[in-house]
């Protein structure tokens, strides 16, 4: 697949060299919208619009939902407004709702007034919930039935209704008041006697979500309980929609990308070909934060200028102590961030985790104290220097274990995303402690 | 949900304080195996076995598939062998196959000879494929039909067969020779006239996988095409099994965890309560690799001992240059690793990506050169020092952009996991270039 796509991207590139846009049209005509989206993301801006203009009209909407936020913003800004509005009007209401935040007002107005398929009321309903809740994630493609009818009636109804929405692995049972009372697996309709009542096949306590449940909890439940679709209810137990696995897979992917990108201070869904100025500006912020922590470490070094003057070997060896602390701390921190996200680390066992990481820090501290202390001794022929490097290493590896375990828990507790903030905080601690330990010990014991 | 689970873990903890194991049994009796798995992962080893022994017999197998590799190894080693064998014999054949690599021989023999449900042949068939291929991922729960029969016959067959396997959103169509010729959506059986022939509803070219396709490609296709299940065929086009979304979601989660853990040199699925010695040993390897890169950077500094002796301010400022380079390079590197994984960066646009990142490096280099150069001047009152720090900053941010873009592409090309190796290589480059630039410039221009 990947091979195919790569070959394909080469072909598109050749087609873009030619003058004839029909070549492009021929190439992408048979592609899935998701594949077209990858092509758009991988192309530089000027060529993006050329390809966009050649996409078959009926696929435009889906392509628009598949591209990342950065590329979508570019297409909406540079593409023909009517074309964008048309593209959007072909979409499901939940997909439209997802796009609304990134659309300019005139496009939204255009969509709402040209599209007869969707009611303003439905769109309002879905927009009422934040994007990262079950309500923001749901669609309205629920098929509801009553508990007291036989399967044969359900089958007749479904045949009249025609094709079922994707991911319809369950029908939802509601009572007269519209309250959700259970679900029935669609394949059970195939395998059971038509005279069986819905009630006798129903699961009356299936996994269900409140409109306000977070999308992370929804994703965790889908993963844990192997769901394909699940009902979404409001505070009055009324069925208001359903969440489906395809949207949940997107949430899972976004979560993991967020965790990776946030560590480097990057925004989600960055366009790899965003304008250089824009990219520079967004990255500069992160580098600025890093500069402050680096200055703090430098300030610590600055306090020991006279010590370094007396023994320059300290300047040579001090980055080793800081770097080892940073790496050891990152290992602990990564495990703790992951544990917090998967619920395997929480208040009930945080203390034990800290104790274990502390022990590992002590052991690795001793091990690398011996190694780096010996190296320092052999390099500079000064056994006191070796002792100081070794002791500083033990101190910093223990500090890094404690900081690596404590920092993410702290950020989680005060409501700051641990994936975003922990790395910078940890490096500050390990640099400051590392430099302070080696230079401070030298100042006290050597001179 | 998360709240519930956390409260629950508190209760389990209280129950573990009591002498009565029945308290534990009462607590976990109604839980889903996936939730029990989270509990086991979050408990320290000694308490794990106590809880494990209280899990209802019919859930043991599923719990064993849900826990991570580290915890599973512990349970298999410390738990009762017969209990483990019983647990495994209740599982689906594809789940057993997944466990086999982590089981000791006597347990495997026990399972194979006590379980009548599974044939040795089936297990052999699935074990023939590596775990990370479509063949290793598939199960055998395919329902096959012929193309020329009417739906009514299919419905009769399904009713005789009884309950369908989970995630059966499609039936597979094979011809007389067992070759796969298409699929039909199960809900179409509900909505169409019983006299319709299967052929007229069939999708004759659905997404399908070869047994040897990589699990990453399978996951990408499920995500792209919103699949719930898909057929797996061999080189002769014969249907051999199917892949389902629940297993694919696990692959996606594992991929993302791998990407995060590998960056910190951690193995996948580490047990947070693995013995301290074992953890120390596995992390020490990574710290050893880091020590070598740190020594390389120190060696560079060592070449300029006499320069530092003359101007200790260089020792104070040099970590800033190295650190800014490391951070800027990590941003580029993270985007490139992600682009390679999602196919948005490849041979056709690598050159353009490099050019863009280079431009961003130049701009951010100039910006932070001015800022840090000014700080250096104000701090030490030496305008020449300010110029040197600024110039070194520009050099290092450009080097970090090139290294950040180039290193992951290089590792990908030579078949080394970029997520694992890129970070260390990048830091080496940005440290060495950073220290060399500031100290080298000082040596040449100041003295």
DSSP A202: -
Residues A381 and A316 in one domain: yes
Beta-carbon separation of B302 and A287 below 8 A: no
The tokens for B270 are 């580490």
Q: Could you tell me the two tokens for B88?
A: 């495994």
Asked whether residue A281 falls in the same domain as residue A416, the answer is yes
Confidence (pLDDT) at B335 = 92
Give a yes or no: residue B296 inside a domain.
yes
Name the least confident of A100-109, B303-312, B340-349.
A100-109
Contact A356 B272 (CB under 8 A): yes
Residue A316 neighbours by CB under 8 Å, 6+ apart? B298, B301, B302, B305
pLDDT over 70 at B22, yes or no: yes
Contact residues on chain B for A368, CB-CB shorter than 8 A? 284, 287, 291
Three-state DSSP string of A256-308 = HHHHHHHHCCCCCCCCCCCCHHHHHHHHHHHHHHHHHHHHHHHHHHHCCHHHH
CA atoms within 13 A on the CB side of A173: 23
pLDDT at position B262 is 87
Question: The CATH number of the domain where A176 resides is what?
Answer: 3.10.580.10
What would the two tokens of residue B130 be? Answer: 């590596």
Count the domains in chain B. Answer: 3
Q: Are residues A104 and A157 in the same domain?
A: no
Strand, coil or helix: A55: coil
Instruction: Phi first, then psi: give them for residue A258, nearest 5 degrees.
Output: -60, -45
* DSSP type of residue B300: H
A1-15, A135-149, B34-48, B143-157: which has the minimum mean pLDDT? A1-15
In degrees, to the nearest 5, what angle opens at C-alpha B229 toward C-alphas B227 and B230? 95
Q: State how far the Cα of A184 lies from the Cα of A198, in Å rounded to an integer.
A: 7
| In a domain? residue A254 | no
Interface contact A279-B38, CB threshold 8 A: no
Q: Which of B101, B106, B37 is nearest to B75 (CA)?
A: B37
Using the Cβ of A210 and the Cβ atoms of chain B, whether some distance falls under 8 Å is answered with no
pLDDT for A212: 95
- How much is the average pLDDT of B300-321? 96
CB distance A191–B164 less than 8 Å?
yes
* B174 or B96, greater pLDDT: B174
Q: Which of A168, A190, A273 sits opposite B189 (nearest CB)?
A: A190
Residue A12 belongs to some domain of the structure: yes
Count of CB atoms situated within 10 Å of the CB of B113: 11
> What is the spatial distance between Cα B261 and Cα B244, in angstroms, rounded to a whole number?
26
Q: Are residues B228 and B292 in the same domain?
A: no
* A225 at interface of B, judged by CB pairs closer than 8 A: yes
pLDDT of residue A173: 96
- Residue pair B275/B281 in contact (Cβ under 8 Å)? The answer is no
The owner of tokens 């007291």 is A148
Statement to judge: residues A296 and A422 lie in one domain: yes
Distance from the B431 Cα atom to the nearest Cα atom in chain A, whole angstroms: 10
The whole-number average pLDDT for the span B279-302 is 94
Check whether residue A108 and residue A216 sit in a common domain.
no
Q: Does A317 touch chain B (CB under 8 A)?
A: yes
pLDDT score recorded for residue B2: 52
Give contacts of A284 with chain B, Cβ < 8 Å: 364, 367-368
- Complex prediction ipTM: 0.85
Phi, psi of A170 (to 5 degrees): -140, 145
Last residue of a domain, one of B244, B264, B297: B244
- Please give the pLDDT value at position B119: 64
Instruction: Please name the member of A221, A309, A349 whose beta carbon is closest to the beta carbon of B1.
Output: A221
Q: A235 and A283 share a domain?
A: no
pLDDT class of B1 with cuts at 50, 70, 90: very low
Task: Pick left, alpha or beta for residue A268 (phi over 0 → left; psi -120 to 50 → alpha; otherwise beta).
Answer: beta
Q: Which residues of B touch A294 (CB under 8 A)?
A: 319-320, 323-324
pLDDT tens for each residue of B412-431: 999 998 888 899 999 999 99
* Cβ neighbours of A290 in B, within 8 Å: 323-324, 327
Residue A253 lies in a domain: no
Tell if the CB–CB gap between B331 and A298 is shorter than 8 Å. no
Residue that finishes a domain, picked among A127, A161, A189: A127
Q: Which of A143-147, B300-304, B319-323, B342-346 has the lowest mean pLDDT?
A: B342-346
B42/A contact by beta carbon, under 8 A? yes
**Looking at residue B447, what DSSP letter applies?**
-
- CB of A292 within 8 Å of a chain B CB? The answer is no
Tell me the shortest Cα–Cα distance from A431 to chain B, in angstroms. Answer: 10
Q: Which of B221, B246, B345 sits opposite A42 (nearest CB)?
A: B345
Give contacts of B221 with chain A, Cβ < 8 Å. Answer: 1
Q: Evaluate whether residue A133 is within a structural domain.
A: no
pLDDT digits (tens, 9 = 90+) for B214-240: 999 999 899 888 999 999 999 999 999
Claim to verify: residue B199 and residue B225 sit in the same structural domain:
yes
Query: How confident is the model at residue B263, as a pLDDT?
Result: 85
Q: Which two tokens stand for residue A207?
A: 């996994």
* Cα–Cα distance measured from residue A169 to residue A166, given in angstroms and rounded to the nearest whole number: 9
Q: How confident is the model at residue B4 (pLDDT cuts 50, 70, 90)?
A: low
Separation of alpha carbons B432 and B447, rounded Å:
22
Search chain B and give the residue with CA nearest A317. Answer: B298
Inter-residue contact A153 to A159 (CB < 8 Å) = no
Q: Enumerate the residues of chain A whose CB falls inside 8 A of the CB of residue B44.
A: 349, 352
Beta strands (DSSP E) in B296-423 are none
Structure tokens that stand for B143 in this block: 């329902």
Which residues in chain A come in under a pLDDT of 70?
1-6, 111-119, 268-269
Q: B371 to chain A nearest CA, in Å? A: 10
Closest Cα in chain B, distance from residue A187 (Å): 7
Test B276 with A363 for CB contact under 8 angstroms. yes
pLDDT computed for residue A114 by the predictor: 57
Asked if B228 reaches chain A (Cβ–Cβ under 8 Å), the answer is: yes
The most distant pair of C-alpha atoms in chain A lies apart, rounded to whole Å, by: 95
**A22 CB-near residues (< 8 Å, 6+ apart):** none
Is the Cβ–Cβ distance between A42 and B348 less than 8 Å? yes
Residues A281 and A389 in one domain: yes
The rounded distance, in Å, linking the Cα atoms of B327 and A292 is 13
The CATH number that applies at residue A49 is 1.25.60.10
Q: What is the DSSP letter of A238?
A: B
Q: Do A334 and B264 touch (CB under 8 A)?
A: yes
pLDDT at A154: 94
Distance from CA of B65 to the nearest CA of A (A): 12
Q: Do B223 and A250 touch (CB under 8 A)?
A: yes
Chain B, residues 171-200, CB within 8 A of chain A, namely: 186-193
How far apart are alpha carbons B302 and A320 in whole angstroms? 12
A148 domain residue, yes or no: yes
Chain B residues in contact with A316 by the CB 8 A cut-off are: 298, 301-302, 305
Residue located via tokens 């917090």: A340
- Contact (CB, 8 A) for B1 and A213: yes
Quickly list DSSP for B35-103.
HHHHHHHHS-HHHHHHHHTTS-HHHHHHHHHHS-HHHHHHHHHHS-HHHHHHHHHTS-HHHHHHHGGGS
A127 touching B (Cβ < 8 Å) = no
Out of B220, B244, B268, a domain closes at: B244
Any A CB within 8 A of B57 CB = no
On whether the CB atoms of residues B373 and B317 are closer than 8 A, the answer is no
Write out the residue range of the structural domain in which residue A103 sits.
Answer: 2-127
The percent of residues in chain B predicted with pLDDT above 90, rounded, is 54
Q: Is residue B17 predicted with pLDDT exceeding 80? A: no
Which chain A residues are closer than 8 Å to B324 by Cβ?
A: 287, 290-291, 294
Give me the pLDDT at residue B182, please: 95
Query: For position A1, what pLDDT does the model report?
Result: 42
Please state the pTM of the whole predicted model. 0.85
Q: How many residues does chain B have?
A: 447
Do A239 and A365 sit in the same domain of this protein? no
When the pLDDT of each residue in chain B is averaged and rounded to a whole number, the result is: 89
Q: Is B258 on the interface with A (CB under 8 A)?
A: no
Rounded to whole angstroms, what are the CA distances from A264 to A284, B333, B446? Answer: 12, 9, 35
Nearest to A280 among B266, B273, B364 (CB): B364
Residue B133 lies in a domain: no
Judged by CB atoms within 8 Å, which residues 341-370 of B form the interface with A?
342-349, 352-353, 356, 359-360, 363-364, 367-368
For residues B256 and A341, give the distance between their C-alpha atoms in angstroms, rounded to a whole number: 13
Here the tokens at position A84 are 């964008």
Per the CB < 8 A criterion, the answer to whether A45 and A273 are in contact is: yes
* Co-location of A176 and A31 in the same domain: no
| Contact: A272, B298; criterion CB under 8 Å | no
Q: Would an 8 Å CB–CB cutoff place B334 in contact with chain A?
A: yes
Contact A69, A102 (CB under 8 A): yes
Instruction: Tell me whether A6 touches chain B (CB under 8 Å).
Output: yes
Considering the domain architecture, whether residues A189 and A72 belong to the same structural domain is answered as no
Q: Is A134 a domain residue?
A: no
How confident is the model at residue B439, as a pLDDT? 97
């Amino acid at each position: 697949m990947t091979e195919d796509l790569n070959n394909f991207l080469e072909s598109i590139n050749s087609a873009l060299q030619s003058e004839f846009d029909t070549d492009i049209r021929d190439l992408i005509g048979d592609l899935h919208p998701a594949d077209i989206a990858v092509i758009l993301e991988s192309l530089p801006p000027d060529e993006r619009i050329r390809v966009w203009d050649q996409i078959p009209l009926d696929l435009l909407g889906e392509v628009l939902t598949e591209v990342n936020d950065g590329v979508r913003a570019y297409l909406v800004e540079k593409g023909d407004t009517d074309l964008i509005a048309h593209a959007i009007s072909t979409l499901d209401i939940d997909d439209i709702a997802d796009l609304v935040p990134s659309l300019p007002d005139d496009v939204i107005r255009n969509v709402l007034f040209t599209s007869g398929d969707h009611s303003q009321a439905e769109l309002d309903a879905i927009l009422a919930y934040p994007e990262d809740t079950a309500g923001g994630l749901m669609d309205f493609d629920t098929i509801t039935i009553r508990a007291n009818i036989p399967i044969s009636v359900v089958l007749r109804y479904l045949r009249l209704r025609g094709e079922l929405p994707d991911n319809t692995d369950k029908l939802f049972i509601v009572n007269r008041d519209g309250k959700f009372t259970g679900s029935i697996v669609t394949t059970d309709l195939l395998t059971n006697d038509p005279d069986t009542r819905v009630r006798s096949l129903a699961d009356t306590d299936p996994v269900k979500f409140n409109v306000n449940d977070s999308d992370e909890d929804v994703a965790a439940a889908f993963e844990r309980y192997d769901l394909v679709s699940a009902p979404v209810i409001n505070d009055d137990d009324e069925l208001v929609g359903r969440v489906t696995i395809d949207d949940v897979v997107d949430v899972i992917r976004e979560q993991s990308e967020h965790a990776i990108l946030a560590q480097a201070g990057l925004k989600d869904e960055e366009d790899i070909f965003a304008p250089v100025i824009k990219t520079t500006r967004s990255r500069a912020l992160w580098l600025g934060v890093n500069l402050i922590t680096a200055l703090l470490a430098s300030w610590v070094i600055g306090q020991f200028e006279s010590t370094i003057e007396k023994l320059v070997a300290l300047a040579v060896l001090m980055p080793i102590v800081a770097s080892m602390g940073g790496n050891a701390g990152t290992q602990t921190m990564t495990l703790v961030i992951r544990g917090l996200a998967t619920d395997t680390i929480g208040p009930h066992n945080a203390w034990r985790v800290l104790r274990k990481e502390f022990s590992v820090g002590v052991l690795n501290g001793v091990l690398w104290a011996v190694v780096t202390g010996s190296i320092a001794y052999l390099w500079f022929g000064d056994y006191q220097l070796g002792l100081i490097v070794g002791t500083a290493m033990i101190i910093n590896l223990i500090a890094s274990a404690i900081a690596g375990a404590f920092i993410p828990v702290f950020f989680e507790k005060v409501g700051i995303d641990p994936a975003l903030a922990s790395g910078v905080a940890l490096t500050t601690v390990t640099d400051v402690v590392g430099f302070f330990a080696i230079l401070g010990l030298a100042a006290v014991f050597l001179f």
